[in-house]
Each structure stands twice: as C-alpha cells, then as structure tokens.
Amino acid sequence: MLTVENLTAGYTPGINILNGVNLFVGRAEIVSLLGPNGCGKSTLLKCIAGYLLPRQGLINLEGDDVGHTPVYLKVRQCALGFVPQTDNVFGAMSVQENLLIGGHFLRPKACQARMEQLCDLYPILARKMHAAAAALSGGERQILALARALMSGPRTLLLDEPSAGLSPKMLEIVFDAIQQIRKHEEVAILMVEQNAVEALDISDRAYVLSLGQIALSGNARALLQDERMQELYLGARAG
C-alpha cells in the first residue's frame, strides 16, 4: 500500500521535476502511471524507491512514513520491490543467480522455497534456470526482473515501463505475468507505461502526470474513454 502526498523533488537546485504529486495505490491494485516522455514518471518511482530524496511531501508505505528511508533499507524494512526501466537484471549471471540476489537476505531454506514458488508461477524461469540472463528474450528478461523483485515478498511493487521494447505478443506475456502477481500475492502495483491503452486494460486505476503534477486520474475503464486523456497525450507528443 502506497500513499504519496504533495511530493516535490528534482535534481538541479531550484528546479522541481515533481511539483506536488498526490497518488494512492491500494493492496492488490494495479495502478498505471502515464504521461509523455520526460514528464517525471521515472523520477517519481526513483523518489518512492529512495534513490532521490523528496524536497517536500510525504511517502508512506504500509502506514509508515518512509520518505527519508535510504534505498538500501527500502526492500528489507519497507517491503518494497522496484524494477527499474533499464539494467534490471544481471546479464552475465544465470536466472538462478539473479533470483538468489533478489532473496539474498532470506534464510537459505526460505530463499529456495520462494524461488520454487516463483518458478511455479512463471514456468519459463524453471526451464531457463541455468541460462545467462543476457541470453533470454526481452520478455523473458522482464519476467526475470519481476521475479527477482518478488523474491523478497514485497507488499508494494514499482515497475518502470515493463513492456518497453517488446513485441505485442511479448507485451501480452509480460502483462499476464503482472496480473498473476495481483492474483497470487496481493501486492500494490504502480506501473509506469508508454503503452497506455494496453496498460489501462489490465489496471484498476491510473494517473496521468503532466508538468510535474497529476493532470488526470481515475478508473482505468473511464480513462480509456476520456477525451482529455487523448488530448493530453496527443498534445504533448505533437509538441
């Protein structure tokens, strides 16, 4: 469960990329975060994950104020999982080694059990257990990145463009994998996506970020029909 209130953050002193963002993701919800390139979607996820400290505002995970909890404590103490936009697996390591890294602070037996559980959920991982992650297809690699983040049993999961660069067929496979998480694990999922229509299709709700603020939010089905959504998108893209 994630609550973000009035969040302001940025990189360069005096320039805010996020400017008073409010957002909520409940248990077992899939919520999409949409918006044009460069509007601050990854910045928001990095801020929630603790790579970037907020300048103002609140970040609350499962009832705890974690805005200033450093990134290396977020997985263990705050039950957060994060799949970044790029470099989200260790290419030279095997599937198994990547999963073991995801569960590195579990006891060996629990780690093994969790790995088996995730291999049941995603059979492709069992079939490729000893292959190098770099040898997987794009879709398989995203599933490995998901599973790596799930090893520690997160209550909240942040996904940054899980379908980037995938074919439509692969996108479907990865989105199926994301829906499996909701079904089996009751995790709160916040997913940044460029493929807005497909993302809304598997989401409960969505937020559209524009100029560092939430410009539009609501039920995913309602947003699919919303003309303002298309204007925001097409307007921003044409510019």
Ligand X SMILES: Nc1ncnc2c1ncn2[C@@H]1O[C@H](COP(=O)(O)OP(=O)(O)O)[C@@H](O)[C@H]1O
Residues that bind ligand X (CB under 6 A): 11, 17, 35, 37-43
Q: How far is the CB of 41 from ligand X (least distance, A)?
A: 3
Q: How far is the CB of 7 from Mg ion (least distance, A)?
A: 16
User: Choosing among Mg ion, ligand X, none, which partner's interface includes residue 17 (Cβ < 5 to 8 Å by kind)?
Assistant: ligand X
Strand partners for 82: 158
CB 45 within 8 A of CB 82: yes
86 burial level (CB within 10 Å; 0-12, 13-18, 19+): exposed
Please count the residues of the chain.
Answer: 239
Q: How far is the CB of 161 from ligand X (least distance, A)?
A: 8
Q: How far is the CB of 38 from ligand X (least distance, A)?
A: 4
User: Choosing among ligand X, Mg ion, none, which partner's interface includes residue 154 (Cβ < 5 to 8 Å by kind)?
Assistant: none
Distance CA 73, CA 79 (A): 9
User: Choosing among Mg ion, ligand X, none, which partner's interface includes residue 40 (Cβ < 5 to 8 Å by kind)?
Assistant: ligand X
By C-beta, is 42 or 156 nearer to Mg ion?
Answer: 42
Q: How far is the CB of 44 from ligand X (least distance, A)?
A: 7
Q: For residue 115, give the H/E element and its range.
A: helix 108-121
* Of residues 194, 237, 229, 182, the one with CA closest to residue 32: 194
Task: Name residue, tokens 């975060």.
Answer: 33
Q: Report CA Rg, the chain.
A: 17
By C-beta, is 34 or 177 nearer to Mg ion?
Answer: 34
**Rule CB under 5 A: which residues touch Mg ion?**
42
Output the residue with the shortest Cβ distance to Mg ion: 42
Q: Which amino acid does the sequence have at 46?
A: K
SS3 for 204? coil
By C-beta, is 88 or 152 nearer to Mg ion?
Answer: 88
By C-beta, is 34 or 121 nearer to ligand X?
Answer: 34
By C-beta, is 40 or 154 nearer to Mg ion?
Answer: 40
